[in-house]
Structure formats: structure tokens, C-alpha cells
């Protein structure tokens, strides 16, 4: 900021910058002229040239002074215009600010009233909501307690089931226990499907081999053996295999294990003249049964060729129901003669009952006639008693003599 008299000029003003640049140019020219004069030394021409240049420079300085005066006037005019504009802007802003303040005061008052009403409505709604929420919360807590109790019971059941699963794993890990597991499951299915006198558990055959179950079917086909087998190790290895090569090896091992069981059943339990020409191998696992039929159909066909049929718990129940129907039909055929004999006896009893009924009818008719005669005699006796009661003996004596005496059987 430059203060000249009562005027202040800012360095950022373009006119001030132009004036400063002009003064700097003049000063530079004077320095150059002085330097040139000193170098020229005593040369006259240089002096004259310098003198002319100094004169011209004086003229330029006078022109520059005039321009500076004019520039100062322009700067004063611009300064006054800016001051007037600032005053007008300030007045306009103050008036607008007053209007905005008035509008804001009105809006604030309206908003305060609306807020008060909204707050009152909100308080009422909140009260209603809290009341309803309290009831719902109480109900929800009650339901939550019931669900927690249910979860506790389920947790107890899960823990019990986990213990059962661990027990089942212990059972399946031992080959002897695994065999017992299959036999127990087979016994449960057979006992539910067949009458107790139609099968024998742990039946010993003529060759000394003991079958898990022998169903006494009539000839044909004759008694049929059901033996429980469980190739658990091979199936477990197949289920645990991760790569395709490991699965293929485990699958071949599973097929080989099942073929061994098929061969053992075919050699032990197919006795001509004693058992049927086929036997049943019971697999106590639907998963093993499904894998055999899905991935090893050739093993199932090998069982058919050896007359050994592979069944699962589900298909075993269906097979036993078929056997139950066969047993029922056979027993009905066996009892057909007894039924016919009982029918003949029943027919004879009916004939005897007819004869007895006819005789009874005759006796009843005769008894009815006898009762009718007795009633008639009683009626006549009553009439005579009345007559004796109403007349004297003198009057009655001649009449009595004249009346005939009735026979006793009338």
C-alpha cells in the first residue's frame, strides 16, 4: 500500500504497477546513459549524443508525469466508484438480512408450534407403542423361555444321540459287534413281518452251518436262509477316498468283499433237499445297497447267478411281506380239508337241529292241546261251583240226579 497525500494506492492496482514499471525503465535508461558517457570518455560526439538523449529523456519524463497525474485522477475516480458501490452493497445486504431475519423468526415460531404439537402426538404414540411393546415383549419373553426350554430338551436329545452315535461307531468298528448289529436288525425286521412260528433264528443246518434266520416256506421253494453281512471296512475306505484312483481301488475292494460273502452264502446255505435253491444276503445299510446297485451292477448279477439275492432293510421288509402271503396261502391250503370236514359236521349238526326242532314243535302242539283241555274243564268246574253256591240243596238234588256225570278226562 502506497500513501500519497490523502490517496492510498495498492500494489495490486494495474495503474500503480504500470507507473512503477515506467519509473524503473527511466532509471535503467539513465544508468545506461551514464555508463555510456563514462565509457566514451572525452568524445564530443558522445557528449552531444548524450545531451540529446537526456533532452529526449526529459521530455519523456514530463510526458510520464502527465500520464501519472492522469492515472492518479483515474485511480481516484475508480476508488470513489468502488466506495459508492460498497456502500450500496452493504445497504442492500443489511436490508436483505433484516428481511431474512424476520422470515426466519416467523418460520422458527411456526416450527416451534409444529414441533410442540408433533412432540405431544409423538409422546402419545410412544406411550401407546410402549404399552403394546411391553405386552408383546412379555409375550415374546414367554415364548422365548418356552423355546429355550425346547432347545434345552433338544440339546439333551442331541447329547444322547451323540452318545448313541459314538456307541454305534464303537459297534461298527468291531467286526464281531458289527455282525451282531446286522443280526439284531435282521431279527427286528423278521419279527415284525412274519409270525413267530414261521421262522427260526440261528438255525443249524445238516452240514453244521448256522444261519442267522431260516424262514419255513412250503415246498416249493422250501425253507430259505437269510444271512446278514456288512462289508463295512471296504465301504468306509470307499467313502473316505478323495481322488478318482483311490475311489476306483476302494470300489473294486468293496465288490470283492461282497463277492466273498456271496460265495460263502452259496456254499454254506444252499443244501439240496433241505433248503430252497436260493438264499438271501441282508445288508443292514441302505447306503451300501445303493452303491452296489449304482456302481457295481456286475456284483449284483453275480449274486443272481449264484442264486443269492441281496436285500437292504427296506427291500427285506417287502420280501418278507411276500413270504408272509405265501405262508398264509400255504396254511390255507393245508387247512382246506379240515375246513371241508368241519363244514360237513356243521351241516349234520344243522340237520339234527332241524329234526329236534320238528319234534319239539309236535310236543309243544300236544302240550298246547292238553293245556286247552285243562282250561275247558276248569271253566266247567267253575260254572258248577257257582251254581252250587246260588241254589239250595233241595232244589239242586233232583237236577243233580238228572245230570249225567262227565268223564274225568273232559
Give pLDDT tens digits for 247-271: 888 888 888 989 999 999 999 999 8
Give the C-alpha separation, 215 to 75, whole Å.
Answer: 130
User: 9 has which bridge partners?
Assistant: 2
Predicted confidence (pLDDT) per residue in 218-248, tens digit: 887 889 999 988 787 778 888 788 888 888 8
Query: How confident is the model over 128-172, as pLDDT tens digits?
Result: 777 776 677 777 777 777 877 787 777 677 666 545 444 444 444
Neighbours of 125 (CB within 10 A): 10
**Amino acid 6: pLDDT:** 60
Exposed e or buried b per residue across 56-66, where buried means at least 16 C-beta atoms within 10 angstroms of its C-beta: ebeeebeebee
Q: How far apart are CA 400 and CA 140, in angstroms?
A: 113
List of residues 6+ apart from 296 with CB closer than 8 A: 251, 254, 255, 258
Query: Torsion over CA of 218, 220, 222 and 224, rounded to 10 degrees?
Result: -110
Query: pLDDT confidence of 1, banded at 50, 70, 90?
Result: low
Asked whether residue 44 carries a pLDDT value surpassing 70, the answer given is no
Q: Supply the DSSP symbol for 206.
A: T
Q: What is the mean pLDDT of the chain?
A: 78
Report CA 384 to chain centroid distance, whole Å. Answer: 103
User: At a CB cut-off of 8 Å and minimum separation 6, what does 209 contact?
Assistant: 268, 269
How far is the C-alpha of 217 from the C-alpha of 223, rounded, in Å?
5
Q: Where are the alpha helices (DSSP H) in 335-404?
A: 336-390, 393-402
Find out whether the peptide bond into 128 is cis, omega within 30 degrees of 0. no
Residue 298 has what pLDDT? 93
Distance between CA atoms of 238 and 251, rounded to whole angstroms?
A: 6
When pLDDT is averaged across residues 329-358 and rounded to a whole number, the result is 79
Pairing of strands 279-282, 308-311: parallel
pLDDT at 225: 93
DSSP element (H, E) containing 213: strand 210-215
What was the pLDDT predicted at 98?
A: 83
pTM to 2 decimals?
A: 0.42
User: Does residue 57 carry a pLDDT above 70?
Assistant: yes
Amino acid at each position: 500500500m502506497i500513501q500519497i497525500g490523502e490517496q492510498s494506492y495498492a500494489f495490486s492496482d494495474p495503474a500503480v504497477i504500470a507507473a512503477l514499471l515506467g519509473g524503473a525503465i527511466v532509471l535503467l535508461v539513465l544508468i545506461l546513459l551514464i555508463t555510456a558517457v563514462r565509457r566514451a570518455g572525452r568524445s564530443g560526439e558522445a557528449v552531444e549524443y548524450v545531451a540529446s538523449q537526456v533532452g529526449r529523456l526529459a521530455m519523456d519524463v514530463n510526458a510520464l508525469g502527465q500520464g501519472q497525474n492522469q492515472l492518479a485522477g483515474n485511480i481516484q475516480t475508480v476508488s470513489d466508484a468502488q466506495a459508492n458501490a460498497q456502500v450500496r452493497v452493504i445497504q442492500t445486504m443489511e436490508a436483505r438480512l433484516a428481511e431474512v431475519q424476520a422470515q426466519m423468526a416467523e418460520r422458527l415460531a411456526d416450527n416451534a408450534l409444529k414441533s410442540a404439537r408433533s412432540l405431544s402426538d409423538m409422546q402419545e404414540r410412544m406411550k401407546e407403542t410402549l404399552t403394546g411393546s411391553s405386552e408383546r415383549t412379555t409375550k415374546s419373553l414367554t415364548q422365548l423361555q418356552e423355546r429355550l426350554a425346547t432347545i434345552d430338551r433338544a440339546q439333551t436329545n442331541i447329547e444322547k444321540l451323540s452318545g448313541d452315535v459314538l456307541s454305534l461307531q464303537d459297534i461298527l468298528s468291531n467286526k464281531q459287534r458289527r455282525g451282531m448289529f446286522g443280526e439284531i436288525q435282521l431279527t427286528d425286521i423278521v419279527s415284525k413281518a412274519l409270525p413267530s412260528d414261521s421262522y427260526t433264528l440261528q438255525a443249524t443246518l445238516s452240514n453244521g452251518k448256522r444261519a442267522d434266520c431260516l424262514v419255513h416256506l412250503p415246498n416249493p421253494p422250501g425253507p430259505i436262509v437269510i444271512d446278514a453281512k456288512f462289508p463295512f471296512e471296504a465301504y468306509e475306505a470307499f467313502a473316505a477316498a478323495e481322488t478318482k484312483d483311490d475311489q476306483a481301488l476302494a470300489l473294486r475292494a468293496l465288490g470283492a468283499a461282497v463277492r466273498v460273502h456271496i460265495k460263502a452264502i452259496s456254499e454254506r446255505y444252499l443244501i439240496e433237499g433241505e433248503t430252497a435253491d436260493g438264499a438271501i444276503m441282508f445288508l443292514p445299510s441302505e447306503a451300501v445297497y445303493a452303491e452296489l446297485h449304482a456302481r457295481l451292477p456286475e456284483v449284483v448279477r453275480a449274486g443272481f447267478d449264484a442264486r443269492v439275492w441281496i436285500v437292504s432293510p427296506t427291500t427285506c421288509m417287502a420280501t418278507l411281506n411276500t413270504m408272509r402271503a405265501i405262508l398264509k396261502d400255504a396254511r390255507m391250503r393245508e387247512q382246506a380239508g379240515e375246513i371241508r370236514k368241519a363244514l360237513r359236521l356243521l351241516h349234520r349238526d344243522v340237520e339234527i337241529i332241524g329234526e329236534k326242532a320238528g319234534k319239539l314243535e309236535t310236543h309243544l302242539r300236544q302240550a298246547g292241546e292238553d293245556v286247552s283241555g285243562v282250561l275247558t274243564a276248569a271253566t266247567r268246574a267253575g260254572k258248577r261251583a257257582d251254581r252250587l253256591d246260588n241254589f239250595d240243596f233241595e232244589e239242586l238234588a233232583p237236577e243233580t240226579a238228572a245230570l249225567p256225570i262227565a268223564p274225568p278226562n273232559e
